Amino acid sequence: MTTTVRSVHARPVLAPLDPPLQTASGEVPTAPLVLIDVETSDGVVGHAYLFCYTPMVLPALTSLVTELGAAVVGTSDAPRAVEADLRARLRLLRPQGLATMAISGIDMALWDVLARRAGLPLVRLLGGSPEPVRAYGSLRRMAPDDVRVEARELARLGFGAYKVKVGSAGLARDREVIAALREAVGPDAELAVDFNQTLPVPEAIRRIHALADEDLLWVEEPTRADDAAGHARIRAAVSTPIQLGESWWGEDEMTASLRADAGDHAMFDVARIGGVTGWLRAAPVAHACGRPVSSHFWPEISAALLAVTPSAFLLEYLDVAAGVLRSPARVVDGSVVLADEPGSGVEWDEDAVDRYRA
């Protein structure tokens, strides 16, 4: 029986973030999310969500998901077919930014449909098994005292690695933040830092050289994400591994970065890389280029995808959607535990959704 897309619904919410997410570029006090429900002709409903950082673009992203969803109603519900159809419709616009996110969200919901219809967890549908996926605790706060408190809470979950955001002030402040994190989690934990694209290339080289004695797991996005040549200069000048990828819009941008030798690691954001379909295209390329793959946000679906990624490294545990999920990602002994239930693991807490509706 051929099944088709019956409807695509998108709902905007402002979910709570406690504590708020801080970066060198500003603070995100609530999580602007688009909740997506795709129903197919046989009555199966799949779910996915998108996180867009600022409420200013929440109406636009919600509308885009709705309009693109309407365009595929009545067509095959096969995720690859829908993704190809939507990309073809937007070819003259070169689908990036919000357009890629909208396509990715619909794609994720359709893969959830496939897994539910098959009665399998997404990871099993993709050929993997629901084993725990090693994760790192990703901190939301940046002030040293706040870092100590948050890191001690994360340490109770058994993580062996942590990431903290730096770059809001000078080198001395970066060292203070890293020292606060080490004090909280102990000398044996692996630490990474994220500059969130804030440094010019010469300053990034100087700053990373100065932090060499910290023995960091990686330094993430030290300069502009679209500056592959600049990141290649940084990588060639420092010994600390460079982490890139959360800002890649699809596998083409990933490939350009890999060709430029811009980083040592790859980090996939499932909403930017192209949903489940885009991730599955990108992962073998990263593996062939010898790049360990970690994830950015989306711990539920990213855990399933990392479980079938040949060069999987670490899952980022920073759950921005927990406030509207019935069963948020669960961490045991520093690993995210995959539920052995049909679907991708995304189910709405409808009472919370009503409460936080934007």
**β-sheet with 45-51: strand ranges across:** 5-23, 26-40, 45-51
Task: Specify whether the CB–CB gap between 324 and 293 falls below 8 A.
Answer: no
296 is catalytic: yes
Q: Which of 344, 345, 327, 332 is nearest to 158 (CA)?
A: 332
Dihedral, 338, 339, 341, 344 alpha carbons, nearest 10: -50
Burial 54-72 (b: 16+ CB within 10 A, else e): eeebbeebbebbbebbebb
Q: How far apart are CA 354 and CA 143, in angstroms?
A: 33
47 is catalytic: no
Q: How far apart are CA 226 and CA 326, in angstroms?
A: 36
Task: Specify whether the CB–CB gap between 69 and 38 falls below 8 A.
Answer: yes
Q: How far apart are CA 240 and CA 246, in angstroms?
A: 19
Two tokens, residue 40: 């197919």
Q: Is 263 left (phi over 0), alpha (psi -120 to 50) or beta?
A: beta
- Residue whose pair of structure tokens reads 């000048």 in the numeric block: 237
Two tokens, residue 299: 């711990």
- Catalytic entry in 165, 231, 265, 287: 165
Determine how β-strand 133-138 pairs with β-strand 161-165: parallel
Two tokens, residue 158: 């058994």
- Catalytic entry in 47, 231, 265, 296: 296
Name the burial class of residue 246, with classes exposed (0-12), middle (13-18) and buried (19+) by CB atoms within 10 angstroms of its CB: buried
Active site residues: 165, 296
